[in-house]
Amino acid sequence: MLSANLKISQPDNEPSLLLRVAAGDSYAFQALVRIYKDTTYTAALRILQTRERAEDAVQDIFMKVWLNRASLPGIQNFGGWLHTVTHHQLISALRRLAREKTADLPEQLPFPTQERTVEDMLTQKEYAKLLKSAIGQLSTRQHQLYTLVREYGLSREQAAQELGISVDTVKFHLTEAHRKIRAYLMRNGDMALLLLLLIKNF
């Protein structure tokens, strides 16, 4: 049974937080994402089975939250609303995966599919281009480590062994890389916001 339980304690200040997000407050949105991201990721990982797919799904889910931010003040139960958005997004991801494997999903899936539109795909390309530009600002060592850990999936220990450096050195450079990427994305405004928030922590 497809399930994504997002029942966590609603913070007392959530209504005001939603109002601030609706007004375009990026710091309020960061706070909202911090509250729900881990639980959403756990649900996505349970259904999609791999870290990469789960991370992509979480990015898509919070992208939808941000793009629909104007409607947030009217939502009485944000956790429940996010639960529904997550279900739809995971079903969409499963169907895309099934098509890639030339296999059909069971007919009794509890939610309808939600296909990606041309707009969605263009937005994803724009984010990818922006992130590539941000990574281009890194030093050679930071770029090497970001690529090994973020793109190739190596652990810090494996990256340290690959480059013949200490784990502490890896941690330092990754922290700096993360800081630089966040700063670059922040400078590039609204289009960068979701990548800023959902980029994987090292």
Domains and their CATH numbers in the chain:
14-100 (1.10.1740.10), 118-198 (1.10.10.10)
Is 0.85 surpassed by the pTM of this model? no
Full pLDDT tens readout for the chain, 202 residues? 444 445 555 666 889 999 999 998 888 888 898 899 999 999 999 998 888 888 888 888 988 888 889 999 999 899 999 999 999 889 888 887 777 664 444 444 444 444 445 445 545 666 677 778 888 999 999 999 988 987 787 888 999 999 999 999 999 998 898 888 877 877 775 444 554 555 455 4
Residue 145: Cβ-neighbour burial (10 angstroms; 0-12, 13-18, 19+): buried
Per-residue pLDDT of 77-122, as tens digits, reads 999 999 999 998 898 888 877 776 644 444 444 444 444 454 455 4
pLDDT at residue number 183: 77
Q: Got the DSSP string for 176-190?
A: HHHHHHHHHHHHTGG
Secondary structure letter of residue 83 according to DSSP: H
Distance between CA 18 and CA 177 in Å, rounded? 30
The per-residue pLDDT for 92 is 85
Per-residue exposure over 162-190, b if at least 16 CB sit within 10 Å of its own CB, e if not: eeebeeebbeebbebbbebbbebbeeeee
Residue 110: other Cβ atoms inside 10 A: 9
Check residue 40 and give its pLDDT. Answer: 93
